[in-house]
């Protein structure tokens, strides 16, 4: 079955600086680059490189046409990428050379202006039983969840960034919920060990498969009484930017290949370990022949 990813498309403007610019200060950057970004784009790239038939839906402006090219190069269908009048969503990112820390100013732009009637039309192009993948970087996610289910789609969601509004979303309708430890704590108002947080997620969403990613500790899966813990692989981390997006894409890809939950978890952890060992965002995501 194919995957329709309704997700963000961002242009990342990355500036290398000696220190973060202060109020009233003018600071010269020592380097500058433009990257394709957005959680939606990264997850579609992961799915496409994993060999999944993937359709990306979203909105860009004329300034974001190269994002379509990035998706297409990964094997993703971009027929549902709308070109609108607003500027493409973009981020201004300062990266402090010495520490590697970053400071990000985000402009959502076209990502937050997708018309509901276009959403409904696109959803209805997908065969019953297809997967709908969502994050939290475009508008009207609750509408997409409900409409997706009414169209007979399976819904997977990675509700990041996890804002206060997410707690009121109809997440109980989702077939698969993927979060990190911080997001799990926000959604359940719980604290404790990662197993306790995964348990709290499973109790709140008993009809959903739940995956909690744990960074250097790996990931945990819960569905009903089934619990699977997969440790992370030990690698030298160079850039963790797309680790979570790679995990999401490859976990779903492995499920679509017919793998059971444990093997899908191992596959996703392995793919993420490759990603963090390389610099860059979408460019660091591995191909299927490196993972499967």
- 155's tokens: 């819904």
> What kind and span of H or E run contains 60?
strand 54-60
Q: Is the pLDDT of residue 14 over 90?
A: no
Q: Show the domains of the chain with their CATH numbers.
A: 3-10+37-89+108-284 (3.40.1190.20)
Active site residues: 245
Q: Which residues on neighbouring strands pair with residue 198, listed in sequence order?
A: none
How many C-beta atoms surround the C-beta of residue 189 within 10 A?
Answer: 9
pLDDT for position 72: 98
pLDDT for position 187: 94
Query: CA Rg, the chain, in Å?
Result: 18
What share of the chain has pLDDT > 90, as a percent? Answer: 78
Q: Is the pLDDT of residue 143 over 80?
A: yes
* pLDDT, average across residues 276-284: 84
Q: What digits encode the pLDDT tens for the residues 53-92?
A: 999 999 999 999 999 999 999 999 999 999 999 999 998 9
Q: At 128, phi and psi to the nearest 5? A: -60, 135
Lowest mean pLDDT among 33-37, 102-106, 144-148: 102-106
The helix-helix angle for 181-188 and 194-204 (nearest 10°) equals 50
Range of 52-61, 96-105, 177-186 with top mean pLDDT: 52-61
Distance CA 45, CA 13 (A): 19
Residue 264 near residue 251, CB atoms below 8 Å: yes
- β-sheet with 102-107: strand ranges across: 31-37, 10-17, 89-96, 102-107
Residue 193 near residue 207, CB atoms below 8 Å: no
Quick one: how far is CA 137 from the chain centroid? 9
Q: Which residues of 48-70 are buried (b: 16+ CB within 10 A; e: fewer)?
A: bbbbbebbbbbbbbeebeebbeb
Q: Is the pLDDT of residue 23 over 90?
A: yes
How many C-beta atoms surround the C-beta of residue 262 within 10 A?
Answer: 13
- Bigger pLDDT: 95 vs 71: 71
Q: Which residues on neighbouring strands pair with residue 55, listed in sequence order?
A: 4, 77
Q: Is the pLDDT of residue 238 over 80?
A: no
Distance CA 118, CA 62 (A): 19
- Bigger pLDDT: 15 vs 170: 170
- β-sheet with 219-223: strand ranges across: 77-83, 54-60, 3-6, 131-134, 154-157, 176-180, 209-213, 219-223, 226-230
Q: Is the pLDDT of residue 280 over 80?
A: no
Distance CA 34, CA 39 (A): 16
Q: Is the pLDDT of residue 99 over 80?
A: no
Confidence of residue 230 (pLDDT cuts 50, 70, 90): very high
pLDDT for position 71: 98
Distance CA 282, CA 128 (A): 29
What share of the chain has pLDDT > 70, as a percent? Answer: 100
Work out the mean pLDDT of the chain and round it to a whole number: 94
Cα–Cα distances (Å) from 140 to 74, 116, 126, 241, in that order, read 27, 8, 19, 25
């Amino acid at each position: 079955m194919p995957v329709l990813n309704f997700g963000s498309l961002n242009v990342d403007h990355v500036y290398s600086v000696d220190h973060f610019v202060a109020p009233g200060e003018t600071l010269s950057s020592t380097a500058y680059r433009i990257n394709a970004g957005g959680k939606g784009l990264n997850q579609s790239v992961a799915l496409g490189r994993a060999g999944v038939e993937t359709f990306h839906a979203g909105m860009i402006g004329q300034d974001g046409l190269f994002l379509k090219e990035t998706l297409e190069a990964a094997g993703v269908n971009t027929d549902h990428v709308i070109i609108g009048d607003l500027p493409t969503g973009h981020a201004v990112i300062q990266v402090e050379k010495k520490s590697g820390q970053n400071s990000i100013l985000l402009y959502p732009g076209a990502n937050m202006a997708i018309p509901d009637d276009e959403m409904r039309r696109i959803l209805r192009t997908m065969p019953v039983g297809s997967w709908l993948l969502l994050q939290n970087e475009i508008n009207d996610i609750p509408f997409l969840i409900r409409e997706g289910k009414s169209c007979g789609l399976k819904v997977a969601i990675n509700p990041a960034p996890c804002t206060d509004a997410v707690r009121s979303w109809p997440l109980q309708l989702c077939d698969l919920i993927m979060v990190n430890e911080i997001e799990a704590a926000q959604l359940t108002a719980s604290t404790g060990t990662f197993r306790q947080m995964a348990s709290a997620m499973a109790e709140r969403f008993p009809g959903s498969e739940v995956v909690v990613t744990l960074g250097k500790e790996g990931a945990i899966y819960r569905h009903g009484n089934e619990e699977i813990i997969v440790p992370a692989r030990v690698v030298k981390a160079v850039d963790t930017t797309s680790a979570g997006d790679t995990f999401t894409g490859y976990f779903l890809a492995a499920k679509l290949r017919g793998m059971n939950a444990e093997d899908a978890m191992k596959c996703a952890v392995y793919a993420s370990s490759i990603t963090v060992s390389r610099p860059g965002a979408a460019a660091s995501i591995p191909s299927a022949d490196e993972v499967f």
